[in-house]
Every structure is written in C-alpha cells, then in structure tokens.
Amino acid sequence: MDDFVAWLRARRLAPEHRIWHLARWVDRFLRLSQVRPDEAWQDTLRIFLEDLGEGRTPAWQIRQAADAVSLYCGQFRQAEKEPGNTQQQTAEAPFDRALSLAEMRRILRLRHYSPRTQRSYMGWANRYVRYLGGKRFSPPTSEDAKAFLSHLVTRGKVSASTQNQAFSALLFLHRHVLHADLGDMSATVRARRGQKLPVVLSVEEVRAVLAELSGKSRIMIELIYGGGLRLSDLVQLRVKDIDFDAATITIRSGKGDKDRVTLLPRRTLPALRKHLQDVRTLHERDLACGAGEAPLPNALRRKYPNAGREWAWQFVFPSSKLATDSETTAIRRWHVAPATVQKAMKAAVRRARISKPASPHTLRHSFATHMLMKGVDIRRIQDLLGHRSVETTMVYTHVLAGLAPPVRSPLDEL
C-alpha cells in the first residue's frame, strides 16, 4: 500500500489529505477480493460498492471508493503486474475466516435464500471452521470437508437429514466462496435415510383438535389444514393475498422462492372477516401513534416508500407487540411468532388426548391425505402444496391404507 500512496503522490492524482482515504478504501477492497480470487476486479468492485450502499454509506464516499479502486486496479497494477501474477499472489493469501463467512452471508442474501436457510448454512459454516481450528492459514480442502462430515456421523450421531444439510452448506461454502470443487465425495461416511412416512391425523382427530381451539388460534390452525399451508406461509400471509370472492390464498415467495395459489376454506370466512376488522383497528391505532409500517420484502421499501403503511401490506396475523427494526430503527409490528402457533397446536392435541406427535405441519400432511381420500387428482394436490416434483406428493398414497375404509370384496356387495 505504501507503493500505491507514493504512486499517487508522484503523479499528483489526489490532494495530500485525500491520499490516505483512498488507500483505506483500496485496503478494504483487497480484503474482499481475497475471497473472490477468480473474479474480475470490475465485478468485485460492483459488489463492494453495493455493500457500501446497503450499509448507508454517503454517496460521496461511495464515489470516492470507486475512484480509489479504479486508480489502483486500472492504472497502478496494470503497469506493474502481469495478469498471471495476481492469481498467484491471491492463491498464496492466508485463509481469512471472518471475510469468508461474511462473503458467504452476502452471497446467500444475493441468491435470495430464505432467512432460515441462511441461518442454518451460516451455523454449519461456523462449526466447520471451528472444527478446522482457529490457527489455520490455508483454505479448507475437500479432504477437510470429508473429515468433518464423517465426524458428524461417527461422533455426533446426527441423523441423515442433518448430515445432508451440513453437506449442502459445505458445498455452498467451497463452491461459491472458496471457488473450489469438493470433487468426489463418495469416500465420505454418509448416513443413509430410509423411507419415512408422515404423521397424519384422521378426519375425526382433526375435528377433535379444532374443537379445543378458539379465537385467532383456531383461525390459524383452520387455514393451515384447510389450505395445506406451511407454518411460514401462514405467519407471513398479508391482507392483499386473501381473495374472499374467489376463496383463494396466494402464497408469495414460499419455499424455493415460488408463488402458488391454494384454497381458502369457506368455513373460516366469517371468523376471518371479523379477525381482519380487529387487525385493521389495531393498524389504525398504530398509525395514529407513529408506527404501523409493515416490513416490505427486498427493495420495495425504496421503490414504494409509503406501501408499508397501507392496509393491503399488513400481516393477517400480526404480533401483539411493536418492535424496532434493527436496520432502519423504525417501529414496526411484525407477524406472529411461529412458536405461538406451535404452542397452540401442542396444547390442543394434548387436550384432545391424541397420542400422535402432531404439529402444525402434521395438518399439511393431513390436508394432502384427506384430499387423496376424496379422489382429488394428485397433480392438483401437488400444485396446492407447491411441490416441485410429483414424487414428493406420492408419499401420501402410502398412508392411505391406514385411513381409507377397508376394501370390500365385490362378492360381499351382491
């Protein structure tokens, strides 16, 4: 960096009081480029400036950073280094744990992974780095990944699904952050996952569970069962996504970042209308006290600054408490916590004296199975559930034998 500073001074490209500011921007850029060795500096610069913008850096500082990096990469390094030397020096750079994890978090957000997936992947990446040891200076290799996955099975005794989740996180880290292929992982000790059948409640058991619920809890449970919703679909549901006339619910950015349309059970319409009236009254009270702005996905808040205060964007099931947004410091009312629905379901199952380990997701399984029992086409059920493949939906055909009426011989019907 001293050579770059001297180069700026010799050519009088910046005033003296600005030279060290330019050098600091270049230093921050180079730390980011260490975890992106195969990328052109122009692409890394674009990402670097986007990160500065998300951090609410003033526009004049962003322009200053862009000028500094352009001078360093476009002129200073161009004259003194061959194209192959940069890759060689980058390969010899020490492995920076903090920068690699920060880059992984940024790429996960860039690829629109769900918040739960981001937390899960970052958790496995942190465990992986701790397993390698804090004093490691060289980047992890495929052998390190194999050893960690084998350790999870042999020592950690994790389930097959847990190990597969860890494998996906490590694959993402090596492929998109370290820019290294894991290669052949066949030698890794992998836990085998057998065929598992979902827990399904009978129609009578669902009726017994609903009888133990009332108010908002009953509406939420009825929507999960009546529309085959995931728990995340329910809590993130907004007013604009409910169509009372068509009796449909539109799920926005569900699992896999996909939209779908499912059923709105007509039995819930009166109670749901009354519930939304209470929510609207609460929203108007929040607006009166300077709150009431719902969080918007992605960059919609910048594109439509007032949309978060509109009734259509409010959560159908808002939280009972106001909270401060950590990014904007605005006071918002978020959606109800998933644990609230889970606790209500658990209490209702206990009061109904059902011995099955039923959760809100069990009602989604029950929805699909009961639709099959009524003769609904499996392709239609696949669309309602939002499954990518029909093979995933086919699992419900294996639980029909325990719920459907017994098959009678045609001779008995003569």
- Catalytic residue numbers? 230, 255, 361, 364, 387, 396
The β-bridge relationship of strands 242-243 and 248-251 is antiparallel
Q: Please, are residues 119 and 105 in contact by the beta-carbon 8 Å criterion? A: no
CA distance 334 to 144: 41
At residue 408, what are phi and psi to the nearest 5 degrees?
A: -105, 145
Q: Please, are residues 101 and 126 in contact by the beta-carbon 8 Å criterion? A: yes
User: And the tokens for 235?
Assistant: 């809590």
Q: Please, are residues 191 and 160 in contact by the beta-carbon 8 Å criterion? A: yes
Q: Please, are residues 315 and 294 in contact by the beta-carbon 8 Å criterion? A: yes
At residue 315, what are phi and psi to the nearest 5 degrees?
A: -70, 140
User: And the tokens for 269?
Assistant: 């319409």
Give ∠ CA 153-392-249 in degrees, rounded to 5. 120
Q: Please, are residues 254 and 233 in contact by the beta-carbon 8 Å criterion? A: yes
Q: What is the dihedral of CA 251, 253, 255, 258, to 10 degrees?
A: 90
**What residues pair up with 260 in beta bridges, in sequence order?**
251
Q: Alpha-carbon torsion 196, 198, 202, 203, what sign?
A: negative
Give ∠ CA 325-52-93 in degrees, rounded to 5. 120
* Residue carrying structure tokens 């500094």: 68
